[in-house]
Structure 1
Amino acid sequence: MGTTTSAVLAKSALWDFGIQWGMWAISSALQTERFYDATGSGTFIYLALQSYQWGSSVKTKRQKVQTSLVVIWALRLGLFLMSRIFADGVDKRFNHVRDNPKVFLIYWTVQGVWIFLTLLPTLILNSEKNDVQVGTRDYIGWGLWGLGMFLEVVADRQKSAFKADPSNEGKFINSGLWSVSRHPNYLGEILVWSGLYLSASSVFSGWQHVGVLSPLFVYFLLTRVSGIPLLERGGMKRWGSDPNYLEYIKNVPVLFPSLW
């Protein structure tokens, strides 16, 4: 492992967990989760920009594009999540947690792990001195990022508009992108980080391909841990006796739309 890469990864990890644990202390004292999502998005932006500065003095086009795409993604997600929590008042994920410092610390630590592993390809890329000409792999990767962002933005807007309509009170969304995937926003998230790994991997060699942990971890987190499983259980609990909902989950794929 090169010295520069080691230093960038080490400093990124220290700043990442330092920020999460510092904000945990403040949030735990105030018994609030209002800073959680903003801190996560802000840390993504900070580490993307700092790793860009910590790396080689000669910046490549791939590094500039990669860093910019991470910042754009983080700004969009952060603003969306902050507006949602200020509108709702509370985040149900933290019920029975915000007043338990030890359990609350686990949430903040998991966020630190999520940030570091998800950013891994970007951190490695920004510390890499070697460069190759931007090519097909990069354009495919950036295209996947664009498609992923499109799915995230459109799905979130469709769901927000659906929930804002009083006539939909107590109903589940099954229109727009939600008519072909039960979790189109999560599909977008997976595509975003798969695309960024693909482009960054253009200059990876040997151990650096550990960066593939980024899309794999995002996929695992969303499909096995905190994303889809929680929402699916909540959906069954709320609408499990509704024939229309049972028909919906029978015919609409969980994540990837059917191609036939």
Structure 2
Amino acid sequence: MPDLGAVGVNLIYAAMAALTVVMITFIIGTVIDKHRVVDIAWGIGFAAIAVTTFVLSSGHGDTTRRLVVMGATVAWGLRLAGHIAWRARGHGEDPRYEQMLSRAKGSRTAYALRMVYLLQGLSMWFISLPVQIAQYDPDPPNWLFWVGVAIWAVGLFFEAVGDYQLVRFTGNPANKGEVLDSGLWRYSRHPNYFGDATVWWGLYLMAASGGWLGAATILSPLAMNWLLAKKTGKPLLEKDMANRRPGYADYVARTSGFFPWPPKRSA
């Protein structure tokens, strides 16, 4: 059973870690007038929370659990941050943020701080609860913990390979205006988002393997799923793609929206 007092202290320090990352990013985004940099901070923020928890959980949690959970979170977070930074190079502001900030009444900068940066910091803290709780479990890893590690690995595979296939496709001038429907993208319109969600279900199982406190963090992976499938991920991207690529409607008709599944034979 984790030490609840130590976990409570960790929650405060994790919030401070998330706030530090988003505030530094806010300053950078304001100076360069490009708030899409907050997307890079998403993975970095989770990595910062995981490392902060790893340091604070020393003497409280099982060492193997702490190392695996921290390593899995940092590997996921830094890979994602690096990919987004590479993809955004040479581009202007993300249309999603332009649309959001156009609704500001008064200072766009203050609105961005409230509705983009601080909200993202709060989301990081909440979604990272399994990562925090798991590192305070004093018991050695059991079979459910290693099932979580396996699911995390499957998720990272889908996310990393899906991103790589998309980068290669969009980097070829011959594919301009075309729709990627091969590789993992043949089975899901968003294999990278599916992988992202799966990573967090794996981390959740690592936490849940330690008992009721870890199991109680189930709202965290559910929140990540909701963001990816219903809020800021899939819906906004598909709306933009439908406007720019004529063949996208047919692709939508034959391809699973999220969970990988064999495509329909005909649209």
Q: When the two structures are superposed, what TM-score results if normalisation uses the length of structure 2?
A: 0.87
Q: Quick check: 1:121–1:197 contact (8 Å CA) kept in 2?
A: yes
Describe the superposition over 1:110-148 as per-residue Cα deviations: whole angstroms up to 9, x where unpaired.
2112211221111112234x31x4232122111111111
Residue 36 of structure 1 pairs with residue 46 of structure 2: no
**For residue 145 of structure 1, what is the aligned residue in structure 2?**
152
Describe the superposition over 1:155-178 as per-residue Cα deviations: whole angstroms up to 9, x where unpaired.
111111111111111112111111
**For residue 6 of structure 1, what is the aligned residue in structure 2?**
8
**For residue 76 of structure 2, what is the aligned residue in structure 1?**
73
**For residue 251 of structure 2, what is the aligned residue in structure 1?**
248
Whole-Å separation in 2 of the counterparts to 1:26 and 1:73: 23
**For residue 220 of structure 2, what is the aligned residue in structure 1?**
214
- What amino acid is aligned across from residue 122 of structure 1 in structure 2? V
Aligned residue for 1:127, secondary structure, equals coil
Aligned residue for 1:219, secondary structure, equals helix
Q: Quick check: 1:54–1:127 contact (8 Å CA) kept in 2?
A: no
Whole-Å separation in 2 of the counterparts to 1:67 and 1:127: 12
Q: Quick check: 2:255–2:262 contact (8 Å CA) kept in 1?
A: no
Residue 63 of structure 1, aligned match among 44, 49, 66 = 66
**For residue 240 of structure 2, what is the aligned residue in structure 1?**
234
Following superposition of structure 1 onto structure 2, how do residues 152-163 of structure 1 map, counting pairs within 5 Å? 152-163=159-170
Describe the superposition over 1:62-112 as per-residue Cα deviations: whole angstroms up to 9, x where unpaired.
121011000111111111011111143443332253981133111112211
Residue 190 of structure 1 pairs with residue 200 of structure 2: no
**For residue 115 of structure 1, what is the aligned residue in structure 2?**
124
Aligned residue for 2:218, secondary structure, equals helix
Aligned residues: 254
In the TM superposition, what is the alpha-carbon distance from 1:56 to its structure 2 partner?
3.7
Residues 246, 37 of structure 1: alpha-carbon distance in 2 compared, 3 angstrom cutoff: closer
Q: Quick check: 1:197–1:212 contact (8 Å CA) kept in 2?
A: yes
Which stretch shows the higher mean deviation, 19-28 or 211-220? 19-28
Aligned residue for 1:10, secondary structure, equals helix
- What amino acid is aligned across from residue 200 of structure 1 in structure 2? A
Residues 95, 194 of structure 1: alpha-carbon distance in 2 compared, 3 angstrom cutoff: same
Residue 225 of structure 1 pairs with residue 234 of structure 2: no
Whole-Å separation in 2 of the counterparts to 1:37 and 1:249: 26
Q: Quick check: 1:12–1:51 contact (8 Å CA) kept in 2?
A: yes
- What amino acid is aligned across from residue 46 of structure 1 in structure 2? A
Whole-Å separation in 2 of the counterparts to 1:63 and 1:201: 14
- What amino acid is aligned across from residue 247 of structure 1 in structure 2? D
Whole-Å separation in 2 of the counterparts to 1:246 and 1:26: 38
Aligned residue for 1:257, secondary structure, equals coil
Aligned residue for 2:128, secondary structure, equals helix
- What amino acid is aligned across from residue 7 of structure 2 in structure 1? T
Following superposition of structure 1 onto structure 2, how do residues 161-176 of structure 1 map, counting pairs within 5 Å? 161-176=168-183
In the TM superposition, what is the alpha-carbon distance from 1:258 to its structure 2 partner?
2.6
Q: Quick check: 1:148–1:192 contact (8 Å CA) kept in 2?
A: yes
Whole-Å separation in 2 of the counterparts to 1:83 and 1:164: 12
Aligned residue for 2:241, secondary structure, equals helix
